[in-house]
Structure 1
Amino acid sequence: MSTQRIGLVGSGSWAERTHAPALAAHPGVAFTGVWGRRPEAAAALAATHGVPAHSGEDGFAELLEASDALAFALPPDVQAPLATRAAEAGRHLLLDKPVATDAATARALADAATGAGVSSVVFTTMRFAPASAEWLADLAGRDGWITGRAEWFGGLYGSDADPSPESPWRREKGGLWDVGPHALSVLFAVLGDVEAITAVRGAPDLTHLILRHTSGATSSAALTLSAPKAAAGVSVTFRGTEGVASLPEGRDTSVTSFTAAIDALLTAIDTKTPHACDVRFGARLTELLAEAEEQLRAAGE
């Protein structure tokens, strides 16, 4: 792979724990700097990795100028307009999920990236974590799957949760938008795109999705950020003519997974071949989640 100059947009805890360490350690990346909405946080994270810090409008323009690609670690509706600007400037994109929480905004971002001919990857963890990615690829190569189920029970805001992270958008949008992209991404990987979705809300933040895929299979997902500690966890199961396949035990670290996402972006840039989890895929996830949210709103849930 050719070396790419990549800057980081975002300076919060996720950027500190995952994005910045992976970018700094990657042999195919020249880490060009950190941009943050809070100058002091951007300066601290940049100093840790010995790169320039940026903030404000001028700082974003400086990071754009210094980079071939940008990695984003921002709330979705902050990410989308900045990523659109980056795409229009010809910069490749390594995006966080969801790419936006509004379908029109997500489509505009996808159109900007496609129109500019830039490569993109949306970081949905299990599509890149080596163990789960290999498992999903193996299942996708087999026929006969009739259904799948994905359960993401996060405990960030449960009644017995430890102090919650400072993430206003997660509190506002809940499990549907935070862990929903993960669930949809693994179901897509094996069963294909979705042609119909139905959403039902439980309490306090438990959303059930029923999906009909273009392959003819059906699937379901259960999503929350407010599970009790004893009930928290992730499970994925597929059933078909070959029997039952369940997500293997054990998890790769977030840095390992994000490193694989960087690899995927570099490969897409070099080969000029779109990745399966590109920005158009990200926009499709947003369309489905927005449709589910509208169903819940119409039902008074």
Structure 2
Amino acid sequence: MKFGLLGTGPWAERTHGPALAAHRDVELVGVWGRRPEPTGALAERLGSRPYADVDALFDACDAVAVALPPDVQAPLAVRAANAGCHLLLDKPVAITPEAARGVAEAVERSGVGCVVFFTLHFCASTGGWLREQSAQAGSWQVGRADWLSPVFGGADSPYTASPWRREKGALWDVGPHALSVLLPLLGPVEEVTAVRGGTGDTVHLVLRHTSGASSNCTLSHSVTPAAAGVTAEVRGTPGIAELPVRDEAPAAGFRRAVDALLTEVRTGGKHLCGARFAETVTLLLHQAQLQLRGV
């Protein structure tokens, strides 16, 4: 499958680009970015070619992988889908419910495949755990998913300078990961309550699920490196199930996301992490954001 890569930041450079370039079933035909210099430099490192016109890249490929801020990603995803390109998107797919719905509708209207890279679903250890616990969905009564990172807490991170992460914080950046764990296991959410924590961008969410289950999340980019970590668990009739530690680099998971898109296109089956699931996640984050603003 001929892929185009949209984006030239650290995520594209460290994860999307290398995974696409090394995939045996992918031809990376081009790279598009918002600035010519990094676009050319990344394309050269990946053995591909830079594109100044994103629509020309759409015409040259079968699929696009997107590593861009969500407010940039959503309209480009719609354009790509309308051009007949399959989509491998990043989370969150958008920052407004309307934009997320627009992506989902474009995917369905055009009939293209779409997979959203919720990383925990594509890491070998955590993805296997999620599939195992999903088989017992309906049996879980209580859950939690915490994602605590030091991106703004003193870590030497390439994402510290990210303008959209600075603006939107952990709620929008790592909140999708937490929700991607809880929703498949505990079911749809009928009510979300959000409050700010005491440190930086720390946010706490409490979720009431239509199944009668409840769950909570703590999300932060402002903890110190020593306090960082990703944890999750569910409790119910089967007992207690704890999320295992991620044991591989994101690029390995991204290769599996590519595989998932290839399988979806070949078979017509829909992956859980599709455009409608991503729309649901965006809607919940939007509801939480409104509460934090006192709206």
Same-fold status (TM-score > 0.5): yes
Q: Which residue of 2 aligns with 1:236?
A: 232
Q: Which residue of 2 aligns with 1:113?
A: 107
Q: Which residue of 2 aligns with 1:97?
A: 91
Q: Distance in 2 between matches of 1:140 and 1:180?
A: 20
Q: Distance in 1 between matches of 2:2 and 2:103?
A: 21
The reply to whether residue 222 of structure 1 matches residue 200 of structure 2 is: no
Q: Distance in 2 between matches of 1:267 and 1:53?
A: 28
Q: Which residue of 1 aligns with 2:172?
A: 177
Amino acid at match of 1:27: R
| Superposed displacement of residue 237, structure 1 | 0.9
Q: Which residue of 1 aligns with 2:146?
A: 151
Unaligned runs of 5+ in 1: none
- Does the CA contact (< 8 Å) of 2:134 and 2:185 recur in 1? yes
Q: Which residue of 2 aligns with 1:187?
A: 182
Amino acid at match of 1:232: A
- Does the CA contact (< 8 Å) of 1:145 and 1:217 recur in 2? yes
Q: Which residue of 1 aligns with 2:133?
A: 139
Q: Which residue of 2 aligns with 1:69?
A: 63
- Does the CA contact (< 8 Å) of 1:137 and 1:189 recur in 2? no
Q: Distance in 1 between matches of 2:30 and 2:104?
A: 25
Q: Which residue of 2 aligns with 1:167?
A: 162
Q: Distance in 1 between matches of 2:212 and 2:55?
A: 47
Of residues 21-30 and 208-217 in structure 1, the stretch that sits farther from structure 2 once superposed is: 208-217
Q: Which residue of 1 aligns with 2:286?
A: 290
Amino acid at match of 1:192: G
Q: Distance in 2 between matches of 1:225 and 1:165?
A: 9
| Superposed displacement of residue 104, structure 1 | 0.7
User: Normalising by the residue count of structure 1, what TM-score does the alignment of the two structures yield?
Assistant: 0.94
| Superposed displacement of residue 166, structure 1 | 2.3
Amino acid at match of 2:220: T
Q: Which runs of 4+ in 1 moved over 4 A?
A: none
Q: Distance in 2 between matches of 1:20 and 1:239?
A: 38
Q: What whole-Å deviation, never above 9, does each CA across 1:83-118 have from its counterpart, x for those lacking one?
A: 110111111100000011111111111111111111
- Does the CA contact (< 8 Å) of 2:2 and 2:63 recur in 1? yes
Q: Distance in 1 between matches of 2:11 and 2:50?
A: 17
> RMSD of aligned C-alpha atoms?
1.2
| Superposed displacement of residue 250, structure 1 | 4.2
User: Normalising by the residue count of structure 2, what TM-score does the alignment of the two structures yield?
Assistant: 0.96
1:20-59 paired onto structure 2 within 5 Å: 20-55=17-52, 59=53
1:187-206 paired onto structure 2 within 5 Å: 187-203=182-198, 204-206=200-202
Q: Which residue of 1 aligns with 2:277?
A: 281
Amino acid at match of 1:193: P
| Superposed displacement of residue 215, structure 1 | 2.3
Q: Which residue of 2 aligns with 1:272?
A: 268
- Does the CA contact (< 8 Å) of 2:142 and 2:213 recur in 1? yes
Q: Distance in 1 between matches of 2:213 and 2:269?
A: 28
Q: Number of residue pairs matched?
A: 292
- Does the CA contact (< 8 Å) of 1:151 and 1:222 recur in 2? yes
